[in-house]
Amino acid sequence: MSSSLDISPVHAPTDSRPVVPSGAGSPARPRRKRRVDPTFYLFLIPTLLVFTLAVTVPAVMGIVYSFTNSIGFGDFEFVGLNNYLALFSDPSILSAYAFTLGFSLVTVLLVNALSLALAIGLTAKIKFKAALRAIYVVPMVVSGIIIAYVFQFLFYNSLPALGEALGSKVLSASILTNPDLAWTGIVVVTAWQAIPSSMLVFMAGLLAIPGDIYEAASIDGASAWQRFRGITLPLIAGYLMINTIIGFKNFLNAYDIIVGLTDGGPGTATYSIAMRIFSGFDGGDYAYQMANATVFFAIAVVLALLQLRLTRGKAAL
């Protein structure tokens, strides 16, 4: 019996695309877009609507009014950039910005220094660490206006009595009535309330540092100051920057503590930007203060973007 083999040439397929075997080497199929749960819109739309009506619309209207001569009601006319040009030559506005910026810088430095010292102490091996942490965060949850009224009593009564007992002429009278010293009282009270939140951020950074690094440095003979300067400070630099930006932005909005302590006095020595803006609601210069608020808003946006960038960078680490 004979058999024949077909040895005719095999022709390549007409399709020029390479034949890829199925398996691990096959190209991934395009992923289907995940379907959004309608419940998401149920929560998003009302929130977005409330935010738009309560924040976005008033902000846009305020910017529009800043180009007018409106007093808050009645007819008005558009005056272009007149309000903005007048801001830079108004002594009261410049004084409010100078006070607010100076107060914010001093308070940021004080808060960061004290909160870092407290964070280092509360992350060390000490007794009653949990109880002390709970005590130090109390100021963070108390209303600013309540804190201001409590300290106002201390500045007007307790501190002068102590000054008289010590024979100090400066402390015998309330510092809140002294145009040159009133700002120091505001710094102290603001820092007292702001230190806990800043301290918690520093504690998170300190607890993230491996203890082996400190042990190795101690074995090498590094002193406490050398360990702080060479290990602690560089590794918490990101937390320090975040605290600085957040604190500075918050202190620029200072209002309730200043109102409770000095109400902008003596005279206008402690008038903040926020207080100056609010004065436009009943002072007849509504559009003018809306221009002031728009400039202040632009400053706040720049700080917020800087904060967001730093926060993202830290999250990436």
Predicted pLDDT of residue 111: 96
Mean pLDDT of all residues in 288-305: 89
Residues 6+ apart with CB under 8 A from 69: 76, 77, 79, 287
Above 70 in pLDDT, residue 260? yes
pLDDT per residue as tens digits for the range 99-122: 999 999 999 999 999 999 999 988
- Rounded CA-CA distance 28/300 in Å is 46
Above 80 in pLDDT, residue 23? no
Assign 3 a pLDDT band (cuts: 50, 70, 90). very low
Q: Using an 8 Å Cβ cutoff, are 103 and 186 in contact? A: yes
Above 70 in pLDDT, residue 64? yes
Highest mean pLDDT among 6-20, 106-120, 137-151: 106-120
Q: Using an 8 Å Cβ cutoff, are 118 and 199 in contact? A: yes
Mean pLDDT of the chain: 84
Backbone φ and ψ of 18, nearest 5°: -65, 145
Backbone φ and ψ of 125, nearest 5°: -85, 85
Assign 311 a pLDDT band (cuts: 50, 70, 90). low
Residues 6+ apart with CB under 8 A from 180: 269
Residues 6+ apart with CB under 8 A from 283: 289
pLDDT per residue as tens digits for the range 161-203: 888 888 888 788 889 998 999 999 999 999 999 999 999 999 9
Mean pLDDT of all residues in 297-315: 76
Above 60 in pLDDT, residue 127? yes
**By mean pLDDT, which of 6-15, 138-147, 187-196 is the weakest?**
6-15
Predicted pLDDT of residue 21: 52
According to CATH, the superfamily of the domain at 90-281 is: MetI-like (1.10.3720.10)
Predicted pLDDT of residue 36: 76
Give the percent of the chain with pLDDT over 90. Answer: 43
Q: Using an 8 Å Cβ cutoff, are 248 and 104 in contact? A: yes
Above 90 in pLDDT, residue 315? no
> What pTM was computed for the model?
0.79
Predicted pLDDT of residue 6: 46
Mean pLDDT of all residues in 33-43: 79
Above 60 in pLDDT, residue 19? no
Characterise 273 by phi-psi region: left (phi > 0), alpha (psi -120 to 50), beta (else).
Answer: alpha
* Residue spans per domain, the chain: 90-281
Amino acid in position 9 = P
Predicted pLDDT of residue 313: 53
Above 80 in pLDDT, residue 317? no
Predicted pLDDT of residue 267: 87
Above 80 in pLDDT, residue 39? yes
- By CB atoms closer than 10 A (0-12, 13-18, 19+), residue 185 is buried
Task: For residue 71, give both structure tokens.
Answer: 């007093």
Above 70 in pLDDT, residue 66? yes
Mean pLDDT of all residues in 201-230: 90
Above 80 in pLDDT, residue 31? no
